[in-house]
């Protein structure tokens, strides 16, 4: 039995079953397309040839892009401030005795798992209800799940540091704090920074998504233009969005390649 459920053949069966089940769970007989849906689709696709480029609208798009960047950056800085201490505790590297280490590690790991398992948009919604429609709602909503992810990854990176240089520090009489400051952290830092930069890229997308609950930025402008059926404006904003993501993507990739060689 154990050999059966751990075999490659069983995996194939599972994957095929998932495919069949998911495709069959769509109600293919029902009305899939709106009445007039195809006409709207054609209209939308045709608008790609004539995006709105009037100066006044480009200024709106630029302002929205900056807002998006600002929220993402602020959210990430807060997420680092939250994730770093939690990650250090969750890695358990500061405590030498196993009995004191495990409860703290398990507790913080569980907390981190909870923080990151709820999507940032759900957090945004809860924050908007709790503190009102303020940029702070977006920043906190971003910082909580991202702090959870960063903390978990930081903990893993800190744990994966090779033991030999640390042994050398310990042998020369360093306390765990000193071993952390002069051995573990400098070794782990490039990987930690690299992952943070990757998350920055994701944060831009996350902020765009949060527009849905009324947080300003590119996503909000897309929502407005889409509601007014101004497809030309939608395309302009989509191009801005893709360009923004592309720039951040290229930047973060370049940084990461140099940090982790």
Partner 1 sequence: MNKGIVLAAESPIRGRRFGFAGGSLVAFVVLAIASWGFILLVDGGDLLGLFSGETWNRATDFIGQLAGRGSRSEPAFLQPGEWARTGRLAYETLAMSVLAIVFAGIGALLTFLPAARNLATGELAPSRSPVWRSLFFVVRGAYMFLRGIPELIWAMIILFFLSPGILPGALALGLHNLGILGKLSAEVVEDMDPRPARALRVAGAGSFQMLAYGIMPQVLPKFLTYLLYRWEMVIRTTIVVGFVGAGGLGREFRLAMSWFHYTDVALLLMWYLLLVVAVDMLCAYLRRISR
Nearer to partner 1, 90 or 161 (CB): 161
Supply the minimum distance, in Å, between the C-beta of residue 99 and partner 1: 28
Quickly tell me which residue has 């930081």 as its tokens: 154
Cα dist from 261 to 33, 194, 200, whole Å? 50, 11, 20
- CB-CB contact of 141 with 124 (8 Å): yes
Near partner 1 by CB under 8 A: residue from 13, 37, 59, 106: 37
Nearer to partner 1, 22 or 97 (CB): 22
Of 90, 204, 107, the residue nearest 153 (C-alpha)? 90
- Residues 100-139 contacting partner 1, CB under 8 A: 117-119, 121-122, 125-126, 129-132, 134-136, 139
- Residues 77-96 contacting partner 1, CB under 8 A: 77
- Pick the stretch among 2-10, 54-62, 83-91, 101-109 that binds partner 1 (CB under 8 A): 2-10
- The count of other CB atoms within 10 Å of the CB of residue 5 is 9
Near partner 1 by CB under 8 A: residue from 44, 94, 95, 230: 44
Supply the minimum distance, in Å, between the C-beta of residue 189 and partner 1: 6
Near partner 1 by CB under 8 A: residue from 71, 146, 154, 195: 71
Token pair listed for 39: 């006409």
Nearer to partner 1, 6 or 97 (CB): 6
Apex 74 CA angle, 73 and 80, nearest 5: 90
Binding of partner 1 by 259 (CB under 8 A):
yes
Cα dist from 30 to 22, 41, 242, whole Å? 16, 19, 34
Supply the minimum distance, in Å, between the C-beta of residue 49 and partner 1: 16
DSSP string, 226-254: HHTT-HHHHHHHHHHHHHHHHHHHHHHHH
- Residues 135-194 contacting partner 1, CB under 8 A: 135-136, 139, 161-162, 164-165, 183, 186-187, 189-190, 193
Long-range contacts of 174-183 (CB under 8 A, 24+ apart): 176/93, 176/94, 176/95, 176/96, 177/94, 180/88, 180/93, 180/94
How does DSSP classify residue 133? S
Supply the minimum distance, in Å, between the C-beta of residue 85 and partner 1: 18
| Residue 17 region by backbone torsions, left for phi larger than 0, else alpha for psi between -120 and 50, else beta | alpha
Supply the minimum distance, in Å, between the C-beta of residue 91 and partner 1: 16
> In angstroms, how far is the first alpha carbon of the chain from the final one?
44
Near partner 1 by CB under 8 A: residue from 46, 48, 62, 66: 66
- Pick the stretch among 52-60, 69-77, 83-91, 99-107 that binds partner 1 (CB under 8 A): 69-77
- Residues 209-248 contacting partner 1, CB under 8 A: 209, 212, 216, 219, 222-223, 226, 234, 238, 241-242, 245-246
- CB-CB contact of 121 with 210 (8 Å): yes
């Amino acid at each position: 039995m154990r050999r059966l459920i751990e075999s490659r053949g069983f995996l194939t069966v599972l994957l095929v079953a998932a495919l069949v089940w998911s495709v069959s769970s769509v109600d293919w007989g029902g009305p899939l397309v709106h009445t007039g849906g195809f006409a709207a689709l054609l209209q939308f696709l045709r608008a790609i040839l004539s995006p709105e480029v009037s100066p006044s609208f480009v200024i709106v798009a630029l302002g929205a892009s900056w807002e998006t960047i600002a929220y993402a950056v602020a959210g990430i800085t807060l997420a680092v401030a939250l994730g770093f201490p939690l990650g250090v505790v969750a890695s358990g590297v500061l405590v030498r005795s196993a009995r004191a280490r495990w409860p703290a590690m398990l507790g913080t790991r569980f907390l981190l798992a909870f923080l990151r398992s709820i999507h940032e948009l759900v957090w945004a919604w809860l924050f908007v209800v709790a503190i009102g429609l303020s940029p702070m709602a977006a920043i906190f909503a971003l910082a909580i799940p991202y702090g959870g992810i960063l903390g978990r990854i930081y903990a893993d990176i800190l744990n994966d540091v090779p033991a030999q240089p640390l042994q050398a520090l310990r042998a020369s009489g360093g306390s765990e704090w000193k071993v952390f400051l002069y051995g573990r952290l400098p070794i782990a830092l490039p990987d930690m920074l690299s992952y943070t930069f990757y998350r920055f890229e994701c944060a831009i997308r996350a902020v765009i998504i949060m527009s849905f609950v009324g947080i300003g930025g590119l996503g909000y402008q897309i929502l407005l233009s889409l509601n007014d059926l101004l497809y030309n404006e939608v395309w302009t904003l989509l191009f801005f969005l893709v360009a923004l993501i592309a720039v951040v993507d290229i930047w973060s990739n370049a940084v990461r390649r140099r940090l982790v060689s």
